[in-house]
């Protein structure tokens, strides 16, 4: 649009026989810049919400929040307590809730909802739901607005880190109501008419909390109450001001004129009621709704503006910033600031209040791959806080988390915390106690999952490595010892061991570095040369029989041999050699896309959504909707065929992502599926943890400007770029020809200009030499 505006003015001046004055040209550019939308307004928070248990196009909800905020807010269309709280195809909204849900599979904790009504009061969620339309819904990261048609009420919410403002616009009514639903799982409400407020707490959760877990809240109204009532788990309304039970709620009523607005300021705390009040005063105080909304918008714009995209394709820009928005929500803050401004947190590990940072709601099985590397690249100060939080987790709970929500959750496999810690330190993130985290990594890597205990001596099954004794003895977790997903565990342990070895080397621990580097080669124990796949192996050395590479689960996690055979990020060259050399490796990579989406679901007894998502997109066995194979496209860079990585990266971006309710190819797990898109759109991707390298793909945009943490600017200029010109012809970094199929972290951090020259046909010579390949533990030619 900017180019068209300037062009029109230039053409007009030429028609008049004049040259457009420099001042007029500058004014035209300035005027056009002022009309460009804020980056945050390119975001569609509804991206990924058209999902179900059976098929995921993201499994997201429209989160109204600030970046990494402790609380998010979302409209609720589903049954309260269901992981699928908001789905695009639902017809009614029954509330707007404070949420901390990382995914529907983990569900929520510390949640409560507000709802506005008119007429006869309805308290059950299934009764109070109001018809609404997406045409009368306005969703932004910094505010949400919807028309509740059954009540002629417009509801709005704008967030802060730990608080929010609501604005309800009522019709003329003698019976206008606002209710707070504490949801099932333990709650208390108390109405204080004299101060026009409701206080209380909720304890609902789905695991990972101590016995004293509570989310305290305070809701401050700007109207006097005409009638006040509370209800209990039997939905019995009374005039009692205080109610406590498994599921309680409160409702306050008003008489309203047409267009009358009722404001509610809400804050919460995991520490105490007094801290909730402090959060309310500190984060909202006397601010108007508009001020809170503007501050939230500015918070997003600050973070988003570190990556500025220039490209005529609006849909791609909207997809990019919608994905970046999702990335910057997790892991969320789980800390607060006390009366003196000191950082403190309630520990979901020991139930006490401690000094320092804490972050939660994250599964490292997903996010170690690209989310944390992006934080390291663009937001290292925030990543340092997260590492400090991991130090506190270890001190308070005795172990690193692998899935936290808010405390230890026994979900997924591996010890992938090692990858995010080592990657952070190797790439220059500082300000945290790395020695303590190294101790924690080693403890996690040497203890069987069935034996860990916390500080109080209680068994924690969510940490440690299941089958680690077998792994250390044989070099793999056997198939026939009753440990499911054994091959996947072996492969993931080996990658984590590489990360441990890298950090050990950096910390001056040569013996550990050698030991864990040797363990990082354990992937070789599972490669079966007769089939060409990774395969489950019995304790006597024999192979899992019968073997079906199309069988999901069993020896693998949410995938099969077609997916996990590529899970050797630390030693791709070693895998190339095992598979018979470069050409055979490329042929095998190609076969993933050309083999029909055959599958065996017998392990699960049903077609799980990850299988269905692979089956329906017409990409063969490539299952981009789940994490284990998402890096595979970039492995062409190691085998002399980077042009194929360019083709497939661009093809996946084009076909599987869009800024729409069905805009993701599968679960958007805590930002990982988004991070794949964000990195890939920039033109590179972090395949190998703790290596300081990014494998090159195909940049999506004509120009991207990154404000690097070093204070320098990195400009990515893709000349001739477009939908058809997806192949790299040449690359130059700061004026120097760049033939490598990777960039180093250090080079990007120093800023400068990165120029891709793009074309419609592959340049099969660029990056094809063995010396151009990215890092591997195994050198080329060995």
Cα–Cα distance for residue pair 195/106, rounded to 1 Å: 37
Once rounded to an integer, what is the mean pLDDT over residues 11-17? Answer: 33
SS3 call for 277: helix
Hey, which bits of 94-169 come out as E strands?
Answer: 95-99, 112-118, 130-131, 137-140, 143-148, 153-159, 163-169
> How confident is the model over 592-603, as a mean pLDDT?
98
Residue 130, φ and ψ in degrees, nearest 5: -110, 140
Give me 512's structure tokens. Answer: 């550990």
pLDDT of residue 24: 38
| Cα distance between residue 467 and residue 118, in whole Å | 59
Interhelix angle 417-426/486-506, nearest 10 degrees: 30
Token pair belonging to 406: 């808010």
628 neighbors 614 (Cβ within 8 angstroms): no
Query: For residue 473, is pLDDT > 60?
Result: yes
pLDDT over 60 (residue 646): yes
Q: In the prediction, which pLDDT does 33 show?
A: 44
> How far apart are alpha carbons 770 and 573 in whole angstroms?
10
pLDDT of residue 49: 98
Instruction: Look at residues 100, 102, 105, 204 and name the one whose alpha carbon lies nearest to residue 159.
Output: 100
- Residue 399 and residue 444: Cα distance in Å, rounded? 7
Place of tokens 């939080």: 389
β pairing state of 752-759 and 713-719: parallel
Lowest mean pLDDT among 430-439, 449-458, 573-582, 626-635: 449-458
Average pLDDT over residues 541-554: 97
**Residue 711: partners with Cβ closer than 8 Å, 6 or more residues away:** none
Please write the tens of the pLDDT for every residue from 453-468.
666 666 667 889 999 9
β-sheet bridge partners, residue 167 = 156, 263
- pLDDT given for residue 37 in this prediction: 82
Q: What is the pLDDT of residue 21?
A: 38
CA distance linking residue 168 with residue 621, whole number of Å = 49
pLDDT at 540: 98
Nearest to 228 by CA among 243, 213, 247: 243
Query: Tokens 């992006």 appear where?
Result: 374
Task: Give me the pLDDT at residue 461, please.
Answer: 74
Residue 217 backbone dihedrals phi, psi, to 5 degrees:
-135, 155
Q: Report the sign of the C-alpha dihedral through residues 53, 55, 58, 62, in that order.
A: negative
Residue 32 has pLDDT above 70, yes or no: no
pLDDT recorded at residue 458: 64
**pLDDT beyond 50 at 626:** yes
Cα 203 from Cα 351, distance rounded (Å): 13
**pLDDT of 364 above 70:** yes
Residue 562: exposure state from Cβ atoms within 10 A (0-12, 13-18, ≥19): buried
Q: What does the mean pLDDT of the chain come to?
A: 94
pLDDT digits (tens, 9 = 90+) for 306-361: 999 999 999 999 999 999 999 999 999 999 999 999 999 999 999 999 999 999 99
In the chain, domain spans = 2-36, 113-304
Instruction: Quote the pLDDT of residue 178.
Output: 98
| CA dist., res. 391 & res. 399, Å (int) | 9
- Number of CB atoms found within 10 A of residue 94's CB: 25
Query: Looking only at Cα atoms, what is the longest distance across the chain?
Result: 88
Q: pLDDT (tens digit, 9 = 90+) per residue, 525-535?
A: 999 999 999 99
pLDDT single digits (tens) 388-420: 999 999 999 999 999 999 999 999 999 999 999
> Which pair of tokens denotes residue 202?
């909720």
747: pLDDT strictly greater than 90: yes
Tens digits of per-residue pLDDT, 116-163? 999 999 999 999 999 999 999 999 999 999 999 999 999 999 999 999
Q: In this structure, which CATH number among 3.40.50.970, 3.40.190.10, 2.70.98.10, 3.40.640.10 belongs to the domain 113-304?
A: 2.70.98.10
Q: Give dist(CA 51, CA 412) in Å, integer.
A: 22
Q: CB within 8 A of 291, min separation 6: which ones?
A: none
Give the Cβ contact number of residue 376 at 10 Å. 25
CA distances for 610 relative to 376, 409, 414, angstroms: 29, 21, 19
Residue 95 to residues 74, 104, 127, 238, 470, Cα–Cα distance (Å): 9, 18, 11, 21, 50
Spell out the residues 6+ positions from residue 330 whose beta carbon is closer than 8 angstroms to its own: 68, 102, 361, 362, 367, 371, 670, 671
Rounded Cα distance, 208 and 361, in Å: 10
What are the residues facing 231 on neighbouring strands?
237, 249
**Residues 78-88: what's their mean pLDDT?**
93
Say how many Å lie between the first and final Cα of the chain, rounded. Answer: 53
What is the predicted pLDDT for the residue at 449?
76
What residues pair up with 228 in beta bridges, in sequence order? Answer: 252
Q: What is the structure's pLDDT at 780?
A: 80
């Amino acid at each position: 649009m900017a180019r068209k505006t300037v062009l029109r003015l230039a053409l007009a001046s030429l028609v008049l026989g004049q040259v457009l004055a420099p001042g007029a040209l500058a004014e035209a550019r300035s005027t056009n810049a002022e009309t460009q939308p804020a980056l945050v307004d390119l975001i569609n928070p509804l991206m990924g919400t058209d999902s179900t248990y059976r098929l995921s196009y993201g499994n997201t909800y429209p989160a109204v929040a600030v970046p990494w905020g402790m609380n998010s807010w979302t409209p609720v269309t589903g049954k309260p307590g269901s992981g699928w709280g908001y789905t695009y195809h639902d017809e009614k909204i029954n509330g707007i809730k404070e949420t901390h849900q990382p995914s529907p599979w983990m569900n929520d904790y510390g949640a409560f909802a507000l709802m506005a009504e008119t007429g006869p009061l309805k308290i059950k969620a299934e009764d109070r739901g109001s018809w609404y339309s997406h045409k009368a819904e306005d969703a932004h990261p910094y505010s949400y607005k919807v028309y509740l048609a059954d009540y002629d009420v417009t509801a709005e919410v704008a967030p802060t880190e730990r608080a929010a403002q609501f604005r309800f616009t009522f019709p003329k009514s003698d019976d206008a109501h606002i209710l707070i639903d504490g949801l099932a799982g333990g709650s208390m409400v108390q109405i204080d008419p004299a101060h026009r407020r409701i206080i209380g707490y909720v304890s609902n959760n789905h695991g990972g909390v101590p016995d004293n877990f509570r989310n305290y809240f305070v809701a401050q109204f700007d109207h006097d109450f005409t009638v006040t009532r509370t209800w209990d788990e039997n939905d019995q309304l009374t005039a009692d001001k205080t109610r406590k039970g498994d599921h309680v709620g409160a409702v306050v009523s008003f008489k309203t004129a047409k267009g009358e607005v009722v404001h509610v300021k809400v804050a919460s705390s995991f520490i105490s009621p007094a801290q909730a009040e402090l959060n309310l005063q500190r984060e909202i105080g006397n601010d108007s709704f508009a001020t809170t909304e503007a501050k939230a918008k500015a918070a997003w714009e600050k973070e988003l503006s570190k990556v500025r995209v220039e490209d005529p394709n609006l849909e791609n820009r909207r997809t990019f910033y919608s994905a970046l928005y999702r990335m910057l929500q997790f892991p969320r803050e789980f800390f607060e600031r006390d009366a003196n401004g000191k950082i403190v947190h309630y520990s979901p590990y020991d139930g006490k209040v401690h000094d320092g940072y804490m972050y939660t709601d994250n599964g490292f099985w997903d996010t170690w791959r690209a989310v944390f590397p992006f934080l390291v690249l663009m937001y290292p100060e925030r990543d340092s806080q997260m590492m400090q939080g991991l130090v506190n987790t270890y001190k308070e709970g005795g172990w690193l988390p692998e899935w936290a929500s808010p405390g230890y959750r026994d979900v997924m496999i591996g010890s992938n915390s090692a990858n995010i810690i080592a990657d952070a330190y190797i790439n220059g993130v500082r300000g945290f106690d790395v020695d303590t985290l190294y101790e924690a990594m080693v403890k996690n890597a040497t203890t069987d999952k069935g034996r860990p205990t916390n500080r109080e001596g209680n068994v924690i099954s969510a940490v440690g490595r299941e089958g680690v004794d077998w792994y250390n003895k044989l070099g793999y977790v056997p198939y026939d010892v009753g440990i499911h997903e054994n091959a996947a565990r072996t492969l993931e342990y080996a990658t984590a061991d590489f990360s441990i070895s890298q950090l050990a080397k950096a910390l001056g621990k040569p013996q550990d570095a050698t030991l864990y580097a040797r363990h990082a080669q354990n992937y070789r124990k599972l490669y079966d040369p007769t089939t060409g796949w990774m395969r489950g192996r019995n304790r006597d050395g024999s192979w899992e029989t019968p073997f079906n590479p199309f069988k999901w689960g069993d020896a693998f996690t949410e995938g099969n041999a077609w997916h996990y055979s590529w899970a050797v990020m630390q030693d791709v060259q070693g895998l190339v050699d095992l598979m018979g050399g470069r050409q055979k490796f490329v042929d095998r990579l190609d076969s993933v896309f050309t083999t029909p989406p055959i599958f065996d679901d017998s392990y699960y007894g049903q077609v799980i959504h990850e299988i269905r998502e692979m089956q329906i997109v017409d990409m063969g066995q490539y299952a981009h909707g789940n994490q284990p194979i998402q890096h595979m496209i970039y492995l062409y860079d190691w085998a002399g065929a980077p042009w194929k990585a360019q083709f497939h990266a661009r093809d996946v971006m084009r076909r599987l992502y869009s800024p729409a309710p069905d805009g993701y190819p599968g679960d958007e797990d805590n930002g990982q599926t988004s991070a794949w898109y964000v990195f890939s759109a920039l033109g590179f991707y972090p395949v190998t943890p703790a290596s300081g390298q990014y494998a090159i793909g195909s940049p999506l945009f004509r120009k991207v400007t990154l404000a690097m943490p070093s204070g320098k600017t990195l400009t990515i200029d893709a000349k001739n770029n477009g939908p058809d010109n997806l192949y790299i012809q040449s690359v130059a970094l700061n004026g120097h020809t760049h033939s490598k199929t990777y960039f180093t972290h250090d080079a990007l951090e120093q800023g400068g200009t990165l120029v891709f020259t793009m074309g419609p046909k592959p340049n099969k010579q660029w990056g094809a030499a063995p010396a151009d390949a990215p890092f591997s533990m195994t050198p080329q030619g060995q």
